[in-house]
Amino acid sequence: MHIFLPLPLLLLSTAQAALLPRQTASQTTSSASASPTACNNHASLCSRSYSNITHLGAHDSPFLRNSSSNSGFGLSDAGNQNIDSLAQLSAGVRLLSAQIHKSDNALHLCHTSCSLLDAGLLRDWLSSIKGWLDSHTSDVVTLVLVNSDNVAATDLASEFVASGISTYGYTPSTAGQWPTLQAMISANTRLVTFVASLPQSSGYLLNEFDYLFENPYNNTAASSFTCAADRPVAQPASAAIATGKLPLLNHFLYQTMTLGSTVIESPDTASIGTTNAATGTGSLGDFAAACAKDYGGKAPWGLLVDYFDQGDTLKVVDDLNGVANDQATGRQEAGGTKMFTGAAGPAVRLPTNIKVAGAALATAVAGWLVV
């Protein structure tokens, strides 16, 4: 039996190097009357199509290490990010992924099960992001939501309306055609929401796999990373890109450990310095550059990572976008409690509130990871 359990990681040294810049493509002409000084932290991105920009994504954004929002059996030492979603956005992340579950007649953000890790109400999280958008008027944000309990689009929409964030929702007029960031900003439709999955898109709630494809996410070795599509259907990179869907790359590794008869898969903490680095075997930068070649010179649309504040994730995205990392406007240094001191150590530790009890542990945390 395999159990997927996100656990803290260790920081290793990272390498700095330039990456393959994004190739220029024809852009959608903006009808906006006003031009912001910077869009998503860079002025040169304003005239770029939303689909022709690489967006840095925080995998399982609301699930934090030592999160105070955990409840019940919550794994307070577990999580995929160090700092909360608003701090992620302020640091330069522009894509947030999360999982939605039904609990106590409400929609919660839970990591596989609300009895394990509950980050609170979906409505509250959306409201906080709405507040961030209110005060950051030149930014476009993307949500990728895992619809774990097959919630109806109408019920999801109710949460968006109640939070106030629905006013920012972007609804595509033509499938496969995206406006520039400037046009979205001027129209104040600055929130793009993909849901995996819905029977069909509903207004600004977009069925993810009508628009995106993803590579495999459950990798345990750098050699397993592939640019090929795994969802919605498995197919070679060239075939996937030919569909017109945008590539969202999962880039994180897992390792295995055995507790009695139970096999637990957790993030490969010893490799995070390389996994989130600009160069090196298995690095984010080299992998994204390789995928750009496989995609015919088009850089990946999204990069989804754990612990975005470790390594060179922002530099990788800036290099792919062909912009200078040191000229970004409006970014704030990632704050919050850091996980690492820079010293190497054991690759894995169990949270202190977990007691290993063989089958009981297996029952409690089975299927922990849902991407």
Model confidence over 20-68: pLDDT tens digits? Answer: 344 333 333 333 335 678 999 999 999 999 999 999 999 999 988 764 4
Structural domain contains residue 236: yes
- Predicted confidence (pLDDT) at residue 8 exceeds the cutoff of 90: no
* Domain span including residue 156: 2-23+38-365
Structural domain contains residue 371: no
User: Cβ–Cβ contacts within 10 Å for residue 120, how many?
Assistant: 17
- Please tell me the total count of domains within the chain: 1
What's the pLDDT score for residue 358? 37
Q: Residues of the chain with pLDDT > 90: what percent?
A: 62
What's the pLDDT score for residue 371? 41
Structural domain contains residue 18: yes
Structural domain contains residue 327: yes
Model confidence over 180-234: pLDDT tens digits? Answer: 999 999 999 999 999 998 999 999 999 999 999 999 998 888 999 999 999 999 9
- Predicted confidence (pLDDT) at residue 70 exceeds the cutoff of 50: no
Contact partners, residue 15, CB within 8 Å, separation at least 6: 277, 278, 279, 280, 283, 312
Higher pLDDT, 241 or 14: 241
Mean pLDDT confidence for 115-136: 94
Structural domain contains residue 333: yes
* Phi, psi dihedral angles at 274 (to 5 degrees): -85, -45
- The H-assigned helical ranges of the chain are 85-91, 122-135, 153-163, 181-187, 208-211, 237-242, 272-275, 284-294, 313-321, 359-365
Model confidence over 322-358: pLDDT tens digits? Answer: 999 999 999 998 864 444 323 222 223 333 333 333 3
* Banded pLDDT at 365 (limits 50, 70, 90): very low
Model confidence over 138-180: pLDDT tens digits? Answer: 999 999 999 999 999 999 999 999 999 999 999 998 877 999 9
What's the pLDDT score for residue 266? 63
Structural domain contains residue 33: no
Average pLDDT over the chain, rounded to whole? Answer: 80
Q: Which of 55, 108, 111, 251 is catalytic?
A: 111
Structural domain contains residue 283: yes
DSSP assignments along 64-131, one per residue: BTT-TT--TT--TT--SBSS-HHHHHHHT--EEEEEEEEETTEEEEESS-TTT-EEEEHHHHHHHHHH
Mean pLDDT confidence for 282-301: 96
Higher pLDDT, 166 or 272: 166
Q: Which 8-state DSSP code applies to residue 269?
A: G
Catalytic residue list contains 108: no
Q: Which of 42, 59, 101, 251 is catalytic?
A: 59
Domain with residue 58: its CATH number is 3.20.20.190
Catalytic residue list contains 59: yes
Structural domain contains residue 30: no
What's the pLDDT score for residue 72? 39
What's the pLDDT score for residue 257? 67
